[in-house]
Structure 1
Amino acid sequence: MTKKKRLLTGDRPTGALHLGHFVGSLQNRVRLQYEYDTFIMIADAQAITDNYDNVGRIAAHVYELVCDYVSVGIDPAVSHIFIQSMIPELFEMTAYFMNLVTIQRIGHNPTVKLETKQKGFREGVPAGFYLYPMFQVSDILAFKADVVPVGYDQAPMVELTRDVAKKFNATYKTELLVIPEAIFPVSLQTNLLGLDRNKMSKSLNNAIYLKDTRDEIVQKVRKMPSDPDRVDYHAPGSPEKVLVFDYLRIFDPDQEGLDALVDQYRKGGVMDKTVKERLIEVLDALLVPIREKRASVAEDRKRVESILREGTKAAREVAGDTLAEIKEVMGLVFPL
C-alpha cells in the first residue's frame, strides 16, 4: 500500500476565521484531507510574538479555531489538529535552522515588511515577531510536509522553507528533510481583499467572518465601497472598481447571471443596492450551514478538547521522530 504524502498548514488563534481564510486555505484543506496525511497547527506560540501582553486572548481563541475548522468540513478523524506550544521539539528545531538563514533574508520577506508596517513597530520590532518565519520553517520541516496549502501572501514563507531544507540537506550530506511545495487557492490569483480594499485581516477589522450572522453580513456589505466615479445609478459604471463584484465573482454560484449583471452595470441603470443585495444573499446562503455546524460543535467542549488532545499526541510523535533524526545527522547524539 502506497504511503500517503503529508500536508501541513495552520492558523494563528487571534480571532475567528474569515472569508479570506475560507478561500485562501480552508477549501483546499477540506479538499485534500483524505488524499494526504493532514496536520493542522494552531500556532499559539507564533501568535504570542505580537500579543505577548495578552496571552489569555490567544489561549481563548484556540478552541474557537477548532469550531471553525469542523464547521467548514475539516474531519478530525483524518486531520490531526494540534497546538503548537505543546510540541517543544519545534522550538529546538528552530534554534538549529536559524543558523542556516541570514537576518537580511528574513528582513526581505514582503509579508514581514507589510505586517511590521501595519502593526506600527517601526524600529521597535520584537525579536520574536521578526523571526517568526523561522518558526514557520520548523513547523513545516518537522512534519516533513510534502505540500502546504497557503494564500499567495505566504509564498515567500514556503520558499524560505525550501531553501532551509536544501541547505540543511547539503550541509549535513543527507536527504532527510522534504522540500515542500505550496498549494495555492484554485479560485484566486491573489488574496481576497478586505472590506476596505486592504488585505483581509482580523487585526484590521475589515473581514466577514465565518460565524457572522445575517445581520452582520448585511451591515458589512452595505458599507462596501462602490464605483467612486459614478454619479448615479443611471450612469455607466466600472465593475472592476466595485469590490462587491470581486466577491460575487468568487462566491456567486450563478456566474452566468452575474455576467449579465456586470454588463448591465457597465451600461448603466443598475443600483449599487441591487448588487449588494445579491452579495448578501450569496454570502448568507454560504454561511448558514457553517454557522449552524459551528454552533453545534461549540456546545460540546469535551469533543473539542478530545480533538485537540488526540491531534497533539499524533503531532508530537511525528515531530519527536524528526528531531531525533535531525540531531543524529548533525552529530548531536551523546551516549549519556
Structure 2
Amino acid sequence: MYAERVLSGMRPTGRLHLGHYHGVLKNWVKLQEVHPCLFFVADWHALTTNYDTPQVIEDSVWDMVVDWLAAGVDPAQATLFIQSRVPEHAELHLLLSMMCPLGWLERVPTYKDQQEKLAGKDLSTYGFLGYPLLQSADILIYRADQVPVGEDQVPHVELTREIARRFNHLYGREPGFEDKAREAVRKLGSKRARLYAELRTRFQQEGDGEALEQAKALLEETQNLTLGDRERLYGYLEGGGKMILAEPEALLTEAPRMPGLDGQKMSKSYANTIYLREGDESVTRKIRTMQTDPARARRADPGDPEKCPVWQFHVIYSDDSTRAWVQEGCRSASIGCVECKQPVIDGVLKEQAVLRERAMPYVEDPGLVRNILADGCERARKLAQETMRDVREAMGLSYG
C-alpha cells in the first residue's frame, strides 16, 4: 500500500518550549509511525526575519534537534536534515520565482500580518516577500503529499498547490507525451490497463470525481511503475501533461492550545514560556508565581477556574479526578491557589524528566546529532536531486 510522504519544518530562532512540544513535536512522533516523514531545520526561513542576528540561528540549530530527539522524533523512522545543506531547495525556489505571479505572494495573509506583528524589524525585503514561495519549494522538491499545519498555514499549502498546477501547465508537455503515456498504460498489465482506461473516460467525459480517485488509488497500488511513468499516468488521467510537481494536501493538526504562564499563547515574544528540558527549580518557581483568577484576592475568596491561566495547564496535565477537585475546590474556596498549582508542577516536572533523559546521550556526545543530520541531509538530497532532474528537463535546462 502506498504511504503518503509527510514534510514539516521548524525555524531555529531560539530554545523550544512546551508550546512547540504539544503543538508540533507530539504530532510529528505520531506521524512518523505511519508515514515516511521528512523533518527539517528551516534555517533559511529563520533568516527572513532574523537576517540581522544570524548567530541566534547558528546557536539554535543543534539544541533544537536535540529537543526533537528528546520529544521522541526517531531518526530511524524519519529523515532529519538542515534546509541549507540541500541547495536544491534554493535552485527550485529560483526557478519557481520565474513563473510565480507577484500578486500571489502579496495576498498571502501572513505577509501583512507578520509585518504588523514585527513592526520593529524592517521586513520590506525580497526574502520576506518570497518566503511563502521558498516554503512551496521545500514541499514540492520532495513531492510531499501531506503537510501538517495549523489553520493559519493553510493558505501557504494552497499557494503551493497553485504553484504546482501552474508549473505543470507551463512545463508538463514533454515531447511525445501521449505516446509515452499510452506505453505506460500497457505496463499496467491488461486487466489494470482496461480499468484505468474506463476510469479515465468516466472522469474526462462525465466529470466523475469518484472515478478519478479510484484511478489514482489504482496507480498508487501498482508497484512496478517508474516515477516518470507514474507521473505521466497521473497527468494523462486528468487530461494534462506529465505531472512533474505533485500537489500537496494540508494535514490539519488538532493540537491543544498550550497557554503561556500569563494565559496568552506560549511565545518567546511574550516572555511567558517554559522551555523543554528546563531545570526543575526554574519550572517550579515559574508555575508557583503564575497569575491566578483576580477574583481570588484572599484565600477565602471563591474563584472561577475558567478565568485562571493555571486551569489551562490542568486541562493538558491533569486527569479527570484532579480537574474535578480543582473545579469544586476553587469555586468553593476549599483549596488555595498554591495547592491548585502543585499537580501542575508535578505533571510538568514528570514530563521534563522524560525529555531530559532522552536528550542526555546527545548532550553528552554532540557528534551523534551531527551524524544524524549528515545522514538525513544525504537522504533528503537524493530525493531533491531526482525532482530537480525532472524540473530542469521540463524547463529546457538539462542540456543533455
TM over 0.5: yes
Higher helix share: 2
Q: Is the 8 A contact 1:14 1:202 kept in 2?
A: no
Identity of aligned residues (%): 36
Which of 194, 198, 202 is residue 268 of structure 2 equivalent to? 202
Matched, 1:295 2:360: yes
Distance apart, 1:141 and its partner CA:
1.2
Q: Residue 249 of structure 2 aligns to which amino acid in structure 1?
A: E
Q: Which residue of 2 aligns with 1:237?
A: 303
CA distance in 1, matches of 2:324, 2:166: 49
Greater alpha carbon shift after TM alignment, 136-145 vs 255-264: 255-264
Q: Which residue of 2 aligns with 1:325?
A: 390
CA distance in 2, matches of 1:208, 1:90: 33
Q: Residue 322 of structure 1 aligns to which amino acid in structure 2?
A: T
Which of 281, 285, 289 is residue 219 of structure 1 equivalent to? 285
Q: Residue 48 of structure 2 aligns to which amino acid in structure 1?
A: T
Q: Residue 30 of structure 2 aligns to which amino acid in structure 1?
A: R
Q: Residue 177 of structure 1 aligns to which amino acid in structure 2?
A: L
Q: Which residue of 2 aligns with 1:54?
A: 53
Distance apart, 1:8 and its partner CA:
0.7
Which of 258, 272, 293 is residue 192 of structure 1 equivalent to? 258
Distance apart, 1:278 and its partner CA:
1.9
Distance apart, 1:315 and its partner CA:
0.7
CA offsets per residue over residues 181-211 of structure 1, 9 Å max, x none? 33344443xx423334444333443221111
Q: Which residue of 2 aligns with 1:29?
A: 28
The 3 A distance-change label for structure 1 pair 82 and 260 is same
CA distance in 2, matches of 1:234, 1:243: 19
CA distance in 1, matches of 2:10, 2:287: 25
CA distance in 1, matches of 2:132, 2:264: 22
Q: Secondary structure at the match of 2:45?
A: helix
Q: Is the 8 A contact 1:23 1:185 kept in 2?
A: no
CA offsets per residue over residues 285-321 of structure 1, 9 Å max, x none? 1111101221321111221111011000011111111
Q: Which residue of 2 aligns with 1:177?
A: 245
Q: Residue 275 of structure 2 aligns to which amino acid in structure 1?
A: Y
Q: Secondary structure at the match of 1:183?
A: strand
Q: Secondary structure at the match of 1:5?
A: coil
TM-score normalised by the chain length of structure 2: 0.75
Q: Secondary structure at the match of 1:82?
A: strand
Unaligned runs of 5+ in 1: none
The 3 A distance-change label for structure 1 pair 124 and 85 is closer
CA distance in 1, matches of 2:330, 2:262: 21
Cα-Cα RMSD = 2.4
Distance apart, 1:123 and its partner CA:
6.5
Runs of 4+ in 1 over 6 A off after TM superposition: none
Unaligned runs of 5+ in 2: 172-240
CA distance in 1, matches of 2:321, 2:99: 51
Distance apart, 1:55 and its partner CA:
1.9
CA distance in 2, matches of 1:115, 1:242: 29
Q: Residue 287 of structure 1 aligns to which amino acid in structure 2?
A: Q
Q: Which residue of 2 aligns with 1:309?
A: 374
Q: Which residue of 1 aligns with 2:130?
A: 131
Distance apart, 1:166 and its partner CA:
3.0
Q: Which residue of 2 aligns with 1:168?
A: 167
Distance apart, 1:101 and its partner CA:
4.4
Distance apart, 1:159 and its partner CA:
2.8
The 3 A distance-change label for structure 1 pair 82 and 228 is same
Matched, 1:260 2:328: no
CA distance in 2, matches of 1:114, 1:220: 31
Greater alpha carbon shift after TM alignment, 95-104 vs 219-228: 95-104
CA distance in 1, matches of 2:332, 2:354: 36
The 3 A distance-change label for structure 1 pair 243 and 101 is farther
Instruction: Count residues with an aligned counterpart.
Output: 331
CA distance in 2, matches of 1:202, 1:39: 26
Following superposition of structure 1 onto structure 2, how do residues 60-75 of structure 1 map, counting pairs within 5 Å?
Answer: 60-75=59-74
Larger radius of gyration: 2
CA distance in 1, matches of 2:14, 2:123: 25
The 3 A distance-change label for structure 1 pair 94 and 214 is same
